[in-house]
Amino acid sequence: MPFRDKLYRMAKRLLISKEEAEDATQEILLKLWSKSESMSTYKSVEAFAMTMTKNFCLDRLKSKQAGNLKLVHSNYKDEQTALQRQLEAKDSVNWVERIMDQLPEQQKMVLQLRDVEDYDFDEICELLDMKPTAVRVTLSRARKTVREKLMQKHRYGIA
């Protein structure tokens, strides 16, 4: 599937755990495969798959198994950059991820879809069943919260 990575990133954002996100992605791909005959009836298979992923992950979080979810963080290595830059980049990504995890669910999903997955507003409206104005306001609030929390972090200890 050309959008498998997007499904995985959405699942990882919601479930946190790399293993859980991989399992969720596999489940969604199996469901899509089993519905392959009826795929032509959907306007956007990718949007349908993203909606399935979102719903599957939210159901998973609400289920009894949610208590068993493990926090597993991936370590991304870039051999080309200096160790200091690598550590700074990792720290920044971790801070943004932590801040995003604290956002309300709707803000988290809109920010993920727009700024990470690069969906346009119409697609986000369709995926989350929201009006365009609501998507823009939610995105604005999410970005503002992330920006403010990053500013607080960087100003910490500065007179």
pLDDT tens digit sequence for 22-53:
999 999 999 888 888 877 787 888 888 888 88
Quote the CA–CA distance of 30 and 24 in Å, as a whole number. 10
Place of tokens 């346009």: 120
Q: What is the mean pLDDT of residues 15-26?
A: 87
* pTM for this entry: 0.52
- Among residues 62, 68, 59, 71, which one has the least CA distance to residue 18? 71
Q: Which CATH class is domain 81-159?
A: mainly alpha
Residue 118 DSSP class: -
Please write the tens of the pLDDT for every residue from 123-153. Answer: 999 989 999 999 999 999 999 998 888 888 7
Q: Which residue has the higher pLDDT, 51 or 1?
A: 51
Domain boundaries, the chain: 1-71, 81-159
Domain 1-71, CATH class in plain words: mainly alpha
Residues 6+ positions from 151 with CB-CB distance below 8 Å: none
pLDDT at 158: 55
Alpha helices in the chain (DSSP H): 4-15, 18-34, 45-62, 83-102, 105-111, 121-128, 132-155
Share of the chain above pLDDT 70, in %: 82
